[in-house]
Structure 1
Amino acid sequence: MAYPDPAAGTPAATPPTDDSPVVLDRRDGPYGEVVLRAHGGRYEIIANGCFLMDTSDGRSERLLVDVALAALDSPGGPREGLRLLIGGLGVGFSLARAAAEPRWGEIAVVERETAVIDWHRSGPLAAHSANALDDPRVHVVQDDLVGYVRDSGTRFDALCLDIDNGPDWTVTENNGTLYSPSGLLACRERLEPAGVLAVWSAQPSADFEAALRDAGFADVHTIEVPVTRGVPDVVHVGVKA
């Protein structure tokens, strides 16, 4: 592997601070090229030349899990033993947040890229997922999320999805079907009654809000997280009616 080994004395949470990007690992897979690089004191994941995410912030990725948990609380108080599906491992902020919450009784992470899983198991991203892959509640499903949502018979209390830059800006063409009417109906089928769907996006989408309502989701709303430059990151939320 091209990336530094955390056990060899290179702190995984402290990438090089050089202004020029440094490629740590580059892989070609069935979905194209995926790259891990260090740039300006942060780690970045690039897929097919498209910037996906980095380790500079993480507020909106943590919010993705927080809003789902809050929406699941019943009038009688907090619920326990909840089942969560995280779509996309990314840099690990969402998984770390979920693993820190004991009310999640089971956490499934669907990630299609072998490289991303490796970067968390034995590479520099392990510190950012807080070694959550070792948590007995967590299991990783290496699969395409679109196919898993359509074909899996498993149901969850919450789906927290972050595999693209948003419904209007997908990493690969096939991902667009996840946000289509049939894809959203499949997400609804994967949810228990009153289950929550939360979708991360790099920008708000009124069309996606409408699509959620058309697919049978209630209490549809969008939560914004301001960023330093440009439009805010958002989390789209809907509850299975």
Structure 2
Amino acid sequence: MQGILSSFPGRTWGRTDHEVPPFPVPSWEQGLYIVSIVQFLRCAGPAYVWVLVGLIVPVLRLVWSADYRWSVWSRVQREWASIKAFASDRSRLPWRATALLIVLPAGLYFLSQGRPLMSGDSKPITLTASALVRDGTTDLSAFISEYASVYRPDASSTLPYFLVRTATGVHSSYPSGMFLFAVPSAALARLLGADLSSGGVQDRMEKGVASWLAAACLGLFFLLALHLVDAASAAWMTLLLATG
């Protein structure tokens, strides 16, 4: 990565960074972004659909517009330079650059995968978050009918294997601390009108939460790696972790 980025030092294609103003985003393109984000937060349809809707115009502009390519490339160079500068000045972590160059691409990459590996083990995370947002409780009795027929361990069981009945109601069979990461997603979905009792909504919410949580972990890994190796090596290590 360092070799690629450093092949355009300072002056590229006859231009310098200060000659490139921010590229304007038309209102209709902003509208596409808003629709994509809202529909994704509503868990309305597969996440990769909204990733495609949100990215198709920028990708086409990258192909057809030299000015747009230069504007994007200049921004990437500036952010990468701030990451490289951390080696000589460790007083400030490159949070913004890491978010733009590591977390955002990783999150979109994970969301673009059409066939996620999912099991009942992780179901209670979004179910608990949804119950808390919708009903103000962590009791999951309302979701039994949705999942019992698919996830019950045997024909005589009335509960999915990932739920257990206690004196205070039906709860997750697993430690439930992770549900806190899903609460913001459940709250936004509820606010935007999603049906939190729907199995499809739960699956898509789980996909979104897992994707962005994994992307955030990659960002933290990258920042930690910067304390040990140079920026290019940290980037390659993060890429291998994300794809390996």
TM (normalized to structure 1)? 0.26
Q: Does 1 or 2 have the higher relative contact order (CA < 8 Å, sep 6+)?
A: 2
- Which structure features the higher share of strand residues? 1
Indicate the structure with greater helix content: 2
> Normalising by structure 2, what TM-score?
0.25
Specify the structure having the higher radius of gyration (Cα): 2
